[in-house]
Chain A
């Protein structure tokens, strides 16, 4: 029985309502997978990962999966895999085993924070934040963006209605703040909040 117990802490306040939108942190287990290049492994990493996850891998700038279990493309032969937070201590190890020598696997659970934004007409929020064509974003897209100098992944879980953002944990409060400001602006413009 250990004398000391380590507790995990959230990165930002759990949930904020702004107008008809909500912003919340979603704790997720996360691991990065980067295929090694030795000839035998080219393609092998992808195959083994797909088999382990039980689904086809996403294409360039896309994600696959649902809910808390996603796999999104981050670069050529590179992916992030997410899972429910309960798996935080085992996700990377399980992936490592499944991928054998084919890829570099790193636990990223601590390194990234997932922030979910849900509500109507999110395009009006994100056109103030990201450089890519958010109006053309479709469910299943996973795009890199720089939001107020913070590097993020933006996943479109439901077109115009549900986005999940990932940023480095040290930036989480700053990103949270930037999202709140943009959400308040959009809410004011849409008349969702009296003022």
Chain B
């Protein structure tokens, strides 16, 4: 499937360096943002809006890459492609993968030294 790591340690280290005291705020913002995105993906799936599904997945992908969660970003890309290709039948499986990977990311981020 995908061999990208759950977290990009290097990117996170750089972000910590840039954000200094605000690193925790950034992580919390990302997590809250991501929950919103996942909810939006489900809503789009419910209404069979493949365009909205693709756009949300695209934006989600961007913030995952920026924060240093490449594997989750990779899953978002797949979701974006499915949306663009109007292949929403793949969406439920992808959403489950995204949910699972997001939990993985939360746990790993919490394990980071504060």
- Tell me if chain B binds chain A: no
